[in-house]
Amino acid sequence: MSVEVLIVAEDGFLPIYSNPGDAGADLKSTENVVIPARGRALVKTGVKIALPNGFVALVHPRSGLAAKHGITVLNTPGTVDAGYRGEIMVTLYNSSDEDFEVSRGDRIAQIVIQQVEHANFVSVMELPESERGARGFGSTGRN
């Protein structure tokens, strides 16, 4: 599948897959930003995309940044709808007690393109029973 990409920064900011078979393509920061301890920052990527209808781009955290530095995408996954044509920006959150510096060109997130199924929502008076029922968070035990 081809996705049209308009780079609004200079060369080198095209999303790339680091390894064959990777689901996510890396997004890079186009600016130097300090994410304060326990704070957040909106970081520009220099990427605009034109997805076909029926597809979505999901912005996910990078596992290395999360594990090593406590940096994650705040609204994970971030949703880029097919009709959006603006620059993709990533809200990074620093869960650590130390400021974190992002340098221009650093890989900050990854983008996953997926097909979207639209549901036909139907109002009903009651739902059919299921084995789980209404049991929610933590209902299956500690593990």
* Look-up of token digits 């994650």: 72
Which residues 6+ apart lie within 8 Å of 73 measured at CB?
59, 60, 61, 90, 91, 92, 93, 109
51 belongs to a structural domain? yes
For residue 2, pLDDT over 90 is answered with no
pLDDT over 90 at 136, yes or no: no
Specify the CATH number for the domain of residue 98: 2.70.40.10
* Residue 19 Cα distances to 83, 107, 114, angstroms: 29, 14, 18
Average pLDDT over residues 48-52: 89
pLDDT confidence tier of residue 133, bands split at 50, 70 and 90: confident
* Prior bond of 61 cis (ω within 30°): no
Whether residue 21 is contained in a domain is answered as yes
Average pLDDT over residues 45-68: 93
Place of tokens 């109002």: 123
The residue segments making up the domain with residue 32 are 4-115
Residue 133 located in a structural domain:
no
43 Cβ neighbours under 8 A, 6+ residues apart: 29, 31, 33, 89, 90, 91, 92, 102, 108
Mean pLDDT is lowest, of 1-15, 23-37, 38-52, 101-115, for 1-15
Q: Which residue has the higher pLDDT, 138 or 124?
A: 124
Q: How many domains does the chain have?
A: 1
Residue 143 banded pLDDT, cuts 50, 70, 90: low
Mean pLDDT, all residues of the chain: 92
Rounded average pLDDT over 54-81: 95
Residue 99's pLDDT band, with cuts at 50, 70 and 90, is very high
pLDDT attached to residue 142: 65
CB 5, CB 46: distance < 8 Å: no
How high is the pLDDT of residue 3?
81
What would the mean pLDDT of 30-43 be, rounded to a whole number?
Answer: 98
Q: Does some domain include residue 138?
A: no
